[in-house]
Structure 1
Amino acid sequence: MIDHLRSDILNGVYAPGDLLPSELKLTKLFQLSNKSARKGLDALVEEGLIVKVDRVGSRVTEQLPGFFQSISFGYSSSIERDFALPLLIEDFRKLHPTIRVKALPLQSVSNYLGTVKDYMNSGLLDVCTINNLDFQHLEENDDIDMLQPLVPQTHTYRFAQRAFTQGQTLLAQPIVFSPLVLAYHRTHFQEANVPEPDGSWTWQDIIQHAHTLAVPGQRHGFYFYLLSDNRWPVFLLQSCMDFAMKQPGAFRLHGTPLLESIRLCKELINNREVFPRYLSESNDDVNELFLQGKVSMILTTYTSLNDFKDLDIQYDISPVPYLFEPRTLLNVIGVAVNRNSKQPQAAAAFSDYLASARAQRILRNQTISLPALKPVAEEPLEDANSLNRPSRYDLFRETISSFRMNRDLNMPLHSFFPLKTILKQYWSEFIDEEALCGQVEELLNSPSAKGGVYAEE
C-alpha cells in the first residue's frame, strides 16, 4: 500500500492538496486491518508526502519535498476546443517538468464567474479563463483585487490588452480574440445565383438575399442565437450611440438611431420567410443547423468556427452587415492568476506560457482561433490545409478598426442585463414600441441603474 500510494503521489495521480482514499477504503482495497492501514499512512507522513487532517482525511502536502508543484486551472466550456488545451498543457509540462497543471473544466456551471470567485476565495483555483465581459463584471463589483497583476507581452494586440487592463495594470493575459462575423454556405449562394457577401453589405442586403436563399420547407436564409451577449449587442453598437449621459435624466430613446437598430433586430427575427422559428438554447444549436444546411448565413465568431475545422463543409466568412457604421462585437478570452495563489510563481509561469509565442503558435496551427499575439496571428500558417479554415481567414486584419467590446456602450452591467430583459419583451411582442421607449428611458435615467456615471461636457 505504501509503495502504491507513494508512486501515485510522485507521478501526479494524486496532486498536492488532493485527499487520499479514506482508511476504510484503503483497508478494503489492500486487504489490510485498520491498524496496518493507519501505520502505512503514518509512514507517508514521515516521508513528508501527506498530512493528516482531523475529521477530513489524509491530504497530499502542498509542497512535495524535492518533487512537484501543482496548480489548478479552471476554464469555461469551450476552452478545450478553442485553445487546443490538452496539447498546451502537455507542452507546458515538457518545459516545466516540476509543475503539474490540474485542469478543472467548469462546463456544467451555469454561473461560471460566480463559481470562479468562490473557488479563488477558497484557494481551489490558481489560474482561470475569463473574457472581457467577466472582467467588466469584476471591475464594477470591486472584485478586481482578487487578480494578480501581470507583465504584458510586448507584441500583444493593444485592443486585446485593453480588455483586461485597469489603469496601467494588466490583470489577465489575453490569449485569443474573436470578432463577430457572418459565416455563409458558398454552395447555397452558387445554387441561388446570389453574389457572396462583402464589407459593403447592409442589413437590408441580408434581408433581400436571405429571401432568395431560403427554400420553403428545407432551409432559411439567416439565423443567429439572439440571447447571446456576444450577438445582440452588435445592433446597439451599430447605432453609434453612447449611453453615458451628459446630465442626469437626459437619455431619450424616441427618434434615435438606437431605436432604429432595435427595430431592425425585431424586423430580422420576426421575418419567418428568412429567419426560422427555432428555439435555440445556445450558439451550438445555430452551428448545428448551419452544418445541416438548414440555414444559409449565421452570425458567429472565429472561436465558434472551430466546430467546422475537421468537417467537409464549404463555407466562408464576411464582415458583419452594418446599419449606420461598420462595427462588430469583439470577445477577448484571457487567463487570470489568483492573487492569493499558494503557488504564485508556478501560476504566473503557466499564464505567461499561454501568452507566449510558442503556445500561441500551437494554438494557431491547431485551431481556427485568433492568437492575441500579433506576430503569430499574422504570420504564414505552417500547414494552411490541415484544418477547414475559411478562405477569408485573414479578414480580421482588415476589420480591426470596426472592433468594439460591450464596455464601449459605456453602460454598466447592472443596466446592461435589465436592458436585455426589456428588449426581449419588445422583440417577442409582449410590449409595444411606446412601452419599450418608456421602460428603457426609465431604466437608463435612474441614478441607481446608471451607477451615477455621466459623460463630461
Structure 2
Amino acid sequence: MLSRKNEFLIRYQTLRDDLRGEILSGKIKPNEYILPENTLSQKYNISRVSVRKVLAELVEEGLIEKITGKGNRVTIPKDGLPVKEKIRLAWFSTSYELEIVKEIIGKYNASQPFAEAELSIIPESSYMESITQLIEGEDGPDVFMISDSHFRQLLDMGKAHLLHPYLSDKMDPQTDSYPKLYELFEYDGQPIITPFLFSPVVVCYNKRLFEQAGISGQDPIHNWTALVDTAKSCTKDTDGDGRIDHYGFCFSSSPHRWPVFMLQNEGTLISDNNECNIDNRNTIEALQFCLDLMYKEQVSPIYSHGSEYMAEALFVKERVAMILSTYYFMNEFRGSTMQWNVCPVPEQKSEGTLLLGGGLGINKNSQRLKLTESFVDFMVGTEAQTLIKKLGCTIPALKHVAEDDSLLDWAIHPKNYNVFQEIMPYTRTLLELKMNTSEFDLLRNEMQLMWMNIEGPGEACGRIVQLINERRAQVMDSVSSKELQ
C-alpha cells in the first residue's frame, strides 16, 4: 500500500507533468489560460497551496505567466526552451517503414517549438525483451512500435502492465478507422494500444505468368479447386529438362500464412472450452489441402519453411505465380520489373483470412505521458498517415487516408490495392485463434515432420493436442497451487 506521502507526490507530479505536456504539445496554446487553481485542486485532489507550487515551477520555466485578476496564461519563452523536451521513440530494425518514420519525425519536429522526437532502432531478434528490460530499468522509450506479434509476446511475458493504455481520440474506431484493428491489441477484453498500420493476408499474383498461362477473369481463384487449377496452369517445365521452372503457388508453413486455409475451412486450434482441438476434421482437411499443393498436385515447391521471406523472394524472382502475402511484405516488390497484382484469398466453406498490424505502445513509466500521447495523436493524424500511404504499401490505420485513391502510386502500389476493403469484414486476428506465442512455437516445431510428408495431419495433430493440453493443465495446476498458498 502506498504511503500518504507517496500518494501526494504521485498526484503532484501528475499535475505538473500533465500541464507541461499539454503546453509543450500545443494542446494549450500560447495566450490561452490554463484551468483555475481551484479546478486543478479538485481535479487532482491536492491543496491549492500545492497547485500554486506547481504553477510557480512552470512560471520559473517560462511556460506560463500569472496575470493578476485573470489567471495563468501560457506564454512562449523569449529565447525558447534551453533544451527541447525529447520524446524517445523505439522501432524494430527490420521494419519496412523505418525511412518513412524518419520522415514523419522530421515533420513532427519541425512543427513543435518545445518538443522533438528521437528515434532508437532496436534489433528485431530481441526487440520485446529489450523494450521490457529498458522500461523495467526506468530507461525505456516513451513510445514504441509494437506489432500484433510483439503484443502477444508481451502478454505471454506477463508484461502488459508496462503499457500505459491509450487510444487516440483523434481516430475514432468506428468512424475514423476500422474496429477490427483494435482487436489486435486487446487485453482483458479492452484495446489498450492505438493502431498505426495494418494488413490482411491476400494473394499476390504475377500478371505475366497468368497471361502466359491463359488465366483471365475477375476471380480465377475463388475457391480451393480454382486455386489448384490456376496453379496447375502456371506450373511449367519451360526448357524440358525435367525440372519445374515456374510453380503456380508457393506454400509457406509460417503461422502467419497457413492458418488462412484453416479459417476458410472453418477449422479451429482451440475449442470454446479452452482446450486444443487442432485434430478436428475441418482443420485436418485444411492441412491436408496444404500438403496436397506440394506433394499431390505438385504446384508448390516441396520445401518446408516457416519464413515469410522465402515465398516473397521466389515471387520477386518470378519463380512462382502466386503466394500468400501481406501489404507489409509487398514493400519487397518495390524496384522490381515484374508485373504483379493482388486479389482476395480463395474461400472454401466460408471466407476467412488473417489480419496483422502494428500500433504505438506507450511506456507507463514515461515522465512525459501527456506529451507522448500528443505524439501518438500526430502519428495517426492525416499528415503522418498520408506519408505511410504515399511512400509504402502497408495500409495506414486512418480510414480516409487508407481509402484515398489520389495517394496511390503505381510504382509502389498494386492496381487492386483497395481489395483490402472487401476483405476486412471477414478477417481474423491471431489473438482470436486463442493460442499464445509459446504454443505457436510448439506448433511450428511439431508440424515439421508433417510438412515434410513424413507423417499425416491426423497423426501430427493428435500429438499436438496432447502436448498443448498437458501444458495448459500444468499451468492451471500451478495457478491453483499459488492461489492456495
**Alignment map for 1:257-336 (pairs within 5 Å):** 257-270=282-295, 273-277=298-302, 282-336=307-361
Provide Cα deviations, 1:255-283, integer angstroms capped at 9, x if missing partner.
Answer: x1111111112222335842124576743
Maintained 8 Å contact 2:224/2:347: yes
Aligned to 1:120: 135
Aligned to 2:10: none
Aligned to 2:267: 241
**What is the CA–CA distance in structure 1 between the aligned matches of 2:298 and 2:269, rounded to whole Å?**
34
**What is the CA–CA distance in structure 2 between the aligned matches of 1:138 and 1:332, rounded to whole Å?**
15
* Segment of structure 1 superposing worse, 183-192 or 200-209: 200-209
Residue 329 of structure 1 and its aligned partner are, at CA, apart by: 0.8
Aligned to 1:52: none
Aligned to 2:253: 226
Amino acid at match of 1:126: D
Provide the secondary structure at the position in 2 that maps to 1:182: strand
Residue 316 of structure 1 and its aligned partner are, at CA, apart by: 0.8
Maintained 8 Å contact 1:355/1:373: yes
Change (3 A) 1:341 1:226: same
Change (3 A) 1:414 1:81: closer
Provide Cα deviations, 1:30-61, integer angstroms capped at 9, x if missing partner.
Answer: xxxxxxxxxxxxxxxxxxxxxxxxxxxxxxxx
Residue 332 of structure 1 and its aligned partner are, at CA, apart by: 1.2
Amino acid at match of 1:347: T
Residue 219 of structure 1 and its aligned partner are, at CA, apart by: 1.6
Which of 135, 141, 150 aligns to 2:151? It is 135
Maintained 8 Å contact 1:82/1:303: no
Maintained 8 Å contact 2:284/2:458: no
Provide Cα deviations, 1:282-319, integer angstroms capped at 9, x if missing partner.
Answer: 43333232122111111110111122244433111111
Maintained 8 Å contact 1:157/1:374: yes
Task: Give the root-mean-square deviation of aligned CA atoms.
Answer: 2.9
* Segment of structure 1 superposing worse, 256-265 or 310-319: 310-319
Provide the secondary structure at the position in 2 that maps to 1:295: coil
Aligned to 1:151: 167
* Segment of structure 1 superposing worse, 142-151 or 440-449: 440-449
Which runs of 5 or more residues in structure 2 are unaligned?
A: 1-79, 238-242, 478-485
Maintained 8 Å contact 1:249/1:446: no
Provide the secondary structure at the position in 2 that maps to 1:300: strand
Which of 225, 243, 251 aligns to 1:204? It is 225
**What is the CA–CA distance in structure 2 between the aligned matches of 1:340 and 1:407, rounded to whole Å?**
26
Amino acid at match of 2:260: V
**What is the CA–CA distance in structure 2 between the aligned matches of 1:105 and 1:408, rounded to whole Å?**
30
User: What fraction of aligned residue pairs are identical, expressed as a percent?
Assistant: 23
1:363 equivalent in alignment to 2:378 = no
Maintained 8 Å contact 1:179/1:396: yes
Residue 417 of structure 1 and its aligned partner are, at CA, apart by: 2.5
Provide the secondary structure at the position in 1 that maps to 2:253: coil
Aligned to 1:404: 428
**What is the CA–CA distance in structure 2 between the aligned matches of 1:346 and 1:224, rounded to whole Å?**
45
TM-score, normalised by the number of residues in structure 2: 0.72
Change (3 A) 1:437 1:303: closer
Aligned to 2:368: 343
Maintained 8 Å contact 2:327/2:393: yes
Maintained 8 Å contact 2:251/2:293: no
Change (3 A) 1:95 1:169: farther
Amino acid at match of 1:192: A
Amino acid at match of 1:104: S
Which of 209, 215, 226 aligns to 1:194? It is 215
Maintained 8 Å contact 2:291/2:453: no
Provide the secondary structure at the position in 2 that maps to 1:316: strand
Maintained 8 Å contact 1:150/1:169: no
* Segment of structure 1 superposing worse, 269-278 or 305-314: 269-278
Amino acid at match of 2:288: R
Maintained 8 Å contact 1:82/1:367: no
Maintained 8 Å contact 1:81/1:306: no
Change (3 A) 1:114 1:274: same
**What is the CA–CA distance in structure 2 between the aligned matches of 1:319 and 1:304, rounded to whole Å?**
16
**What is the CA–CA distance in structure 2 between the aligned matches of 1:113 and 1:287, rounded to whole Å?**
25
1:91 equivalent in alignment to 2:107 = yes
Provide Cα deviations, 1:92-115, integer angstroms capped at 9, x if missing partner.
Answer: 1112243332222224x4232222
Amino acid at match of 2:350: E
Residue 400 of structure 1 and its aligned partner are, at CA, apart by: 1.3
**What is the CA–CA distance in structure 1 between the aligned matches of 2:218 and 2:127, rounded to whole Å?**
36
Provide Cα deviations, 1:3-30, integer angstroms capped at 9, x if missing partner.
Answer: xxxxxxxxxxxxxxxxxxxxxxxxxxxx
Aligned to 1:71: 87
Residue 204 of structure 1 and its aligned partner are, at CA, apart by: 2.7
* Segment of structure 1 superposing worse, 189-198 or 172-181: 189-198
Aligned to 2:40: none
TM-score, normalised by the number of residues in structure 1: 0.76
**What is the CA–CA distance in structure 1 between the aligned matches of 2:144 and 2:294, rounded to whole Å?**
36
Which runs of 5 or more residues in structure 1 are unaligned?
A: 1-63
1:174 equivalent in alignment to 2:214 = no
Identify, as 1 or 2, the structure richer in helix.
2
Aligned to 1:165: 186
Change (3 A) 1:136 1:248: closer
**What is the CA–CA distance in structure 2 between the aligned matches of 1:178 and 1:150, rounded to whole Å?**
22
Maintained 8 Å contact 1:148/1:339: yes
**What is the CA–CA distance in structure 2 between the aligned matches of 1:242 and 1:442, rounded to whole Å?**
16
Which of 435, 446, 457 aligns to 2:459? It is 435
**What is the CA–CA distance in structure 1 between the aligned matches of 2:366 and 2:205, rounded to whole Å?**
45
Aligned to 1:27: none
Residue 190 of structure 1 and its aligned partner are, at CA, apart by: 0.9
The alignment of Structure 1 onto Structure 2 pairs a total of residues equal to 386
Maintained 8 Å contact 1:248/1:447: no
